[in-house]
Structure 1
Amino acid sequence: MLLPLLLAVVPVTTTGAYDEVRLTDDGRTLVLRTIDWETDDGQRTRVTVHWQLLDDGSMLYEYVRQPPATQAVHRRACALQGGSPSGGVSFLAGSGTTHGFGCSSAP
């Protein structure tokens, strides 16, 4: 029997965010956002998150495309919520939004 997954979007406290924009060989526009990612246990880790900029201005986050340090802090943040990183994608949109990520857990 398969257990359904519950997707939770967890807010992140960030400070000191700055961006670098790069164009990939396959024509994608990446926003490399360096942030101090603070988890619920109070630990703060500086990581660079790779967002893909979409035509509508929103940005797409894929866990599997993140650097190892970013994946590690994502795993730690989800574990504190009783879950693990979502295997899907997350989208970021809206003025003033710096970061967001998805966690999944079995009920």
Structure 2
Amino acid sequence: MTMGDRLKELRLQKNLSQEAVARAIGITRSAYSHYEINNRQPVYETLIKLAFFFHVTTDYIIEGETRQQEAGLAREETQELLRLLNHMDEDKRKASINKMLSVIRESE
């Protein structure tokens, strides 16, 4: 499967048009179309926007690495942590962040 095939598959999974994807990441529909038919490859910045938009890694778009679900899970977990932290009072938030940093440092 090519990069263009993966982009098309991701787009169709979301039931989106090429125009909708292009508009969302700030490029023309024509440019996006060329990515899907493998006439061109996106520049680095566009590749990052595509990965973020589709909730996959750049590796997945480029090489088909099966990290799509991992990227989605990591993003969901991060959003949930941020939501929880934002709803805590300042003291609890600082204590929670310090505990997380402690655990991270221990695992390095």
TM (normalized to structure 2)? Answer: 0.30
Q: Which has more radius of gyration?
A: 2
- Ranked by relative contact order (alpha carbons within 8 Å, sequence separation 6 or more), the top structure is 1
TM (normalized to structure 1)? Answer: 0.30
Normalized per residue, the structure richer in strand is 1
Normalized per residue, the structure richer in helix is 2
